[in-house]
Chain A
Amino acid sequence: NAGVTQTPKFQVLKTGQSMTLQCAQDMNHNSMYWYRQDPGMGLRLIYYSASEGTTDKGEVPNGYNVSRLNKREFSLRLESAAPSQTSVYFCASSEANRGRAYGYTFGSGTRLTVV
């Protein structure tokens, strides 16, 4: 049981380049999330998908786009990378349903550096 799998684990981009972070879960969870983690700021929500076919903005969506490809996969795209997007990115999934919250299972993270 792999849980939540993220690729790549490390990436260095030049300013203006684009890339897609991949995330897949095998727990049959409905909800998936993308967070970024910066020192001293905890985890901040970028985008989330409450269920297959839906996506919504989180706290810090600017500069990012997402695609919920199917129930298993949720990708995050940086169209034109900026140094401010240097961070560690975590994908997570949850079995949340209407009215009842559940804890997240996180992927191992992607450490992204934009130079």
Chain B
Amino acid sequence: GENVEQHPSTLSVQEGDSAVIKCTYSDSASNYFPWYKQELGKRPQLIIDIRSNVGEKKDQRIAVTLNKTAKHFSLHITETQPEDSAVYFCAAAEYGNKLVFGAGTILRVKS
């Protein structure tokens, strides 16, 4: 089955700096890669996703890139703000739309 590895496990940045979180996946058949943000005590919420026929997708300060050959994808957050502090999860969709999640990255934005 699919295996997703996520790095780093924790990331501290200064407000206004950029943050990058990287994930690798094992199954070359996976074709959908969402990212979720989870604030403390809340549910995970979808913030951006990318399909395997696209190399990059942007939504305001957030972007995701996908390298199918290397089987890795990354989340980029620019001009970080304190409200970006949360746990971020990457995921890859196995056959049947079962999402396999990475272990998560705790992002702390220091003001």
Hey, which bits of chain A sit against chain B, CB under 8 A? Answer: 31, 33, 35, 40-45, 48, 50, 56, 58-59, 90, 94, 96, 100-109
Name, among A96, A100, A101, A106, the residue most crowded by chain B CB atoms within 10 Å (CB to CB). A101
Complex Cα gap A105–B6 (Å): 21
Complex Cα gap A58–B96 (Å): 11
Do A45 and B98 have beta carbons less than 8 Å apart?
yes
User: How many contacts between A and B, using CB within 8 angstroms?
Assistant: 59
Do B44 and A90 have beta carbons less than 8 Å apart?
yes
| B interface residues, how many (CB within 8 angstroms) | 23
Q: Mark B59-97, 1 if CB is under 8 A from A, else 0.
A: 000000000000000000000000000000100010011
Q: Is B101 an interface residue (CB 8 A)?
A: yes
Do A31 and B97 have beta carbons less than 8 Å apart?
yes
B48 to chain A: closest residue by CB: A103
The 8 Å CB contact of A107, one of B6, B43, B96, is: B43
Complex Cα gap A106–B89 (Å): 13
